[in-house]
């Protein structure tokens, strides 16, 4: 598996690139930085907020496998042995309930909260 970082040539805000995702997941949250990656046909948004690191994974063609999620978390999040991640479930259904429609076969959100120093 090869994780490829997509180049960002402009300073476009994530809210303009993926407005539906941001209007649901990051409605009241200030985004510090973001990066876009791809793994095969899976798109990964790595969003760094001031409180957490969030990975948004979506694939429009097929379901995302568990080993792909583990690989992405290991590569993009500072993975340590007893690390606790928060997995948000049924995100597409919750978005549709609010009238926000995003076309994808699978949509996974992984969140790692930052530890206050």
Measured in whole angstroms, how far is the alpha carbon of residue 74 from the centre of its chain?
14
Chain centroid to Cα 73, Å, comes to: 10
Residue 18 pLDDT grade (very low, low, confident, very high; cuts 50, 70, 90): confident
**What torsion do the CA atoms of 36, 98, 88, 11 make, to the nearest 10 degrees?**
20
CATH topology assigned to domain 4-113: Streptococcus thermophilus LMG 18311 protein like (3.40.1720)
Token pair of 82, please?
A: 């007893």
Positions of E strands within the chain: 4-5, 31-39, 42-49, 52-59, 86-88, 106-113
Tokens of 95: 């978005």
- Residues listed for the chain: 117
Which tokens sit at 68? Answer: 């792909």
pLDDT band at 31 (very low <50, low <70, confident <90, very high): confident
Least confident range of 7-11, 12-16, 63-67, 107-111: 7-11
């Amino acid at each position: 598996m090869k994780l490829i970082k997509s180049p960002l040539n402009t300073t476009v805000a994530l809210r303009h690139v993926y407005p539906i995702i941001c209007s649901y997941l990051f409605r009241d949250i200030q985004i510090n930085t973001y990066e876009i990656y791809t793994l095969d046909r899976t798109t990964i948004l790595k969003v760094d907020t001031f409180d957490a690191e969030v990975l948004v994974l979506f694939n429009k063609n097929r379901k995302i496998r568990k080993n792909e999620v583990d690989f992405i978390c290991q590569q993009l999040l500072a993975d340590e042995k007893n690390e606790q991640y928060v997995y948000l479930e049924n995100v597409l259904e919750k978005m549709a309930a609010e009238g926000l429609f995003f076309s994808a076969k699978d949509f996974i959100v992984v969140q790692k909260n930052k530890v206050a120093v």
